[in-house]
Amino acid sequence: MEAARHILLIDNEEGLCRMMEAVLRDNGYQVTAYTRSFEAVDAFSAGAFDLVISDIKMPGLDGLEVLQRIRAKDATVPVIMITAYATVETSIQALRKGAYDMLTKPFEPEELLYRVKNALQATALATENRELKRQLADSFQGDDIIGANGGLKEVLERVRRVAARDTSVLITGESGTGKELIAQAIHHNSPRRDKRFMAINCGALPESVLESELFGYKKGAFTGATADRKGLLEAADGGTLFLDEVGNLPLTVQKTLLRFLQEHEFLRLGDTRPIRVDVRVISATNADLQQQMEDGSYRDDLYYRLNVVNIHLPPLRQRRQDIPLLAAHFIRRTNQRFGTAVQGFTPEALQRLCAWNWPGNIRQLENVVEGCMALESGNFISSTILDQFLPASAAPSGALPNNPVDTAAQQEDYAQALADFESAYLVQLLKKTGGHVEEAARLAGMNMATIYRKLKKYAIRKDDFTPPAG
């Protein structure tokens, strides 16, 4: 059974302090309450409490000073500040000093419990995020190959074994499953790691261009060949050549490639002198090569040369337990790239993420994470934001009309497009909640601190959306 969460409660108004203590205890929390702020700060130690609730206006040591001293001892514990005078300026000052949330007097017990639950949930998410990072550090480090799935572990063990030997490898799997990353992992864990890794997509080039790209050409071999040119096979001498979508090789190129695999030499286009190179060939495909052999569009002798060892990558829908790890990895990498500080997905959004079928596999997941981070202004990516990137999902309640994301995508100035989206989204939330910032934050899955910062940034007054009295 999970231990009760321990809350430090500080309020010099004894009656209110005892009322809050009783409410929290009745709902299963362990509470240590103080009416003297100095005593509370002295009693506080890092790791001893899961949450701190403190009044702002107190004699002697006021709430903001309490907040600073607690933050100096434990930078991770969430702190909820209570005030009878909730102004934007006061709230921003407290939030800037590290408060998680603001609670305005008078309040109902249900509101107190709601805020406490949210704050403790944020702590749990941060802890989970740290654990995911720890798992990432312990997982196989092969250029972004992330996962704890049993099938993927077998793949990675196969990569380790085959990397040391100069064997041809055929990597199969659906588009977006990370075939090139596996090829890079084989190269970087092989004796060829200090030489070049060259890659070419065999399905992206017409036959004549593909042949010259692979094998090079002599001056005068065709119109426009004004000088000798090395192909990828020569450029990769001593290293590894990765042939992606090898199922799209034309038959003429298949024949030339087969000769190289057999003899380790080839002819440049227009040349009569064979060139010998030392290159390991790794190939990949999402096509059914055995069916293509039966159809006569793929040479069986080339297939067997390429497929000495087969490594098959499972689709993401078959390794759903890896989705949180992958998402955390992409968030960390995007944070490093853009200087952002997104901590993860909310529980509801993460559940949606794991339930999705991901027809585009890891590549699609990476794009969705990056897109969500571009639009999310809170610490955690909410379902509201995720809904805009999962095309088959229903539109979230309270979504903006005319799809502002589509509008933003059409604008050349991305920063302005994002600002327009955020401003319109905030206005829509405040209209829906009648100017109630706390409720707007809940609907958006955002921290109140973020809401207040955005209101100030866009000069939006919550009072403009408050219904007139009477």
The pairing of beta strand 101-104 with beta strand 240-244: unpaired
**For the range 440-443, what are the long-range contacts, defined as Cβ-Cβ under 8 Å and sequence gap of 24 or more?**
442/118, 443/384, 443/398
Give the residue with greater pLDDT, 440 vs 28: 28
Query: What is the spatial distance between Cα 199 and Cα 240, in angstroms, rounded to a whole number?
Result: 8
Q: Which token pair is 248?
A: 């799209």
Q: What is the pLDDT of residues 290-328, one digit of tens each?
A: 999 999 999 999 999 999 999 999 898 888 888 888 888
What share of the chain has pLDDT > 90, as a percent? 31
Q: Does residue 143 carry a pLDDT above 50?
A: no
Full DSSP string of 2-64: PPPPEEEEE-S-HHHHHHHHHHHHHTT-EEEEESSHHHHHHH--TTT-SEEEEESS-SSS-HH
Give the residue with greater pLDDT, 412 vs 237: 237
Sign for the pseudo-dihedral over CA of 161, 166, 168, 169: positive
pLDDT band at residue 62, thresholds of 50, 70 and 90? Answer: confident
Q: What is the pLDDT of residues 167-223, one digit of tens each?
A: 999 999 998 888 988 999 899 889 998 999 999 988 878 877 888 889 988 888 777
- pLDDT value for 409: 37
Q: What value does the mean pLDDT take over residues 410-435? A: 67
Q: What value does the mean pLDDT take over residues 159-171? A: 91
* Residue pair 394/349 in contact by the 8 Å Cβ criterion: no
Domains and CATH numbers, the chain: 6-137 (3.40.50.2300), 150-313 (3.40.50.300), 321-465 (1.10.8.60)
pLDDT band at residue 98, thresholds of 50, 70 and 90? Answer: confident
**Beta partners for residue 282, in sequence order:** 169, 242
* Residue pair 135/325 in contact by the 8 Å Cβ criterion: yes
